[in-house]
């Protein structure tokens, strides 16, 4: 037995205060519910690489839960004109996205032949159906009502998604902040239907140009703009890495959920969440 694996030898090594009796106390495993977490990888096929496939997607969903937690808080802080906490939360979102991207690198170690051993066992289950990913899109302002139909099977989940769909997104909060800071924003933008995809507006473009041309005066708004660009940049890298991993493993086959697979993933790379923040870079 390793000399650090029992109470007697731990004490002998000088660590006299380390607890070893947990009959009446909560352990690390209890706190993290590891009994549930580590038994939630029940595959359908028994194939060795299905465990990899399941864990990568489960870990991504955990990271997405944290992204939503941070985005929701960042939006609240921006609405309250308390930008410093929002900056930290948005920076954290970008770091989380980098972790998800690295997850695709691990999944890419699975070859096409290995995936085909269990792909049919997935049925119509697909990452396209990830409701947390949809909620991230909603929080960033990309609203597509037709995807809500996917979740009608679960009325409680469908209602949760509908509420997220109807809430103003991160960019709406940023534009409202521009208006509160004295910029002349088109009233139609400020009062827009937030269940529709945001369309670029000249007044918003002019406001961001003014921010970038006088950084010293508008330092916090400048920081906010750059945090938004970071989030979108990392999300596009996440999408790109997803697309290339899918292409590497299944080529241009149709997705298990019925999407066009790689072709669909390529199309979403052209979506912009904060369009003016990208277009003004040519003019600054």
Q: Please report, in range form, the residues annotated as the binding site for substrate.
A: 53-57, 115, 119, 256
Cα 55 vs. chain centroid, distance in angstroms?
17
Contact 170, 232 (CB under 8 A): no
Q: Mark the binding-site residues for heme, compressed into ranges.
A: 242
Residue with tokens 């669909």: 264
HEC secondary structure over the chain: CCCCCCHHHHHHCCCCCCCCCCCCCCCHHHHHCHHHHCCCCCCCCCCCCHHHHHHHHHHHHHHHHHHHHHHHHHHHHHHCCCHHHHHHHHHHHHHHHHHHHHHHHHHCCCCHHHHHCCHHHHCCCCHHHCHHHHHHHHHCCCCCHHHHHHHCCCHHHHHHHHHHHHCCCHHHHHHHHHHHCCCCCCHHHHCCCCCCCCCCCHHHHHHHHHHHHCCCCCHHHHHHHHHHHHHHHHHHHHHHHHHHHHHHHHCCCCCCCCCCCHHHHHHHCCCCCCHHHHHHHHCC
Q: Mark the binding-site residues, compressed into ranges.
A: 53-57, 115, 119, 242, 256
Nearest residue to 205 (alpha-carbon basis) of 171, 235, 237: 171
């Amino acid at each position: 037995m390793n000399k650090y694996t029992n109470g007697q030898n731990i004490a002998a090594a000088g660590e006299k205060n380390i607890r070893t009796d947990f009959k009446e106390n909560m352990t690390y495993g209890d706190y993290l519910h590891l009994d549930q977490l580590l038994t939630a990888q029940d595959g359908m096929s028994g194939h060795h690489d299905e465990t990899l496939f399941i864990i990568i997607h489960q870990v991504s969903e955990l990271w997405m839960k944290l992204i939503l937690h941070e985005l929701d808080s960042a939006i609240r802080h921006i609405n309250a004109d308390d930008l410093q906490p929002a900056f930290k939360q948005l920076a954290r979102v970008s770091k989380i996205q980098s972790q998800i991207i690295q997850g695709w690198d691990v999944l890419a170690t699975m070859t096409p032949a290995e995936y085909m051993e269990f792909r049919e066992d997935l049925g119509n289950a697909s990452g396209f159906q990830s409701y947390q990913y949809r909620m991230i899109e909603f929080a960033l302002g990309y609203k597509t009502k037709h995807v809500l139909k996917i979740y009608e099977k679960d009325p409680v989940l469908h209602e949760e998604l509908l509420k997220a769909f109807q809430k103003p997104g991160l960019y709406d909060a940023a534009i409202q902040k521009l208006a509160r800071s004295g910029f002349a924003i088109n009233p139609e933008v400020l009062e827009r239907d937030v269940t529709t995809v945001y369309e670029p507006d000249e007044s918003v473009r002019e406001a961001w140009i003014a921010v970038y041309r006088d950084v010293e005066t508008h330092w916090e708004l400048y920081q906010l703009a750059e945090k938004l660009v970071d989030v979108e940049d990392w999300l596009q890298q996440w999408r790109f890495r997803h697309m290339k991993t899918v292409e590497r493993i299944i080529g241009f086959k149709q997705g298990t959920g019925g999407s066009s697979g790689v072709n669909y993933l390529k199309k979403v790379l052209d979506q912009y969440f904060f369009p003016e923040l990208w277009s003004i870079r040519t003019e600054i």
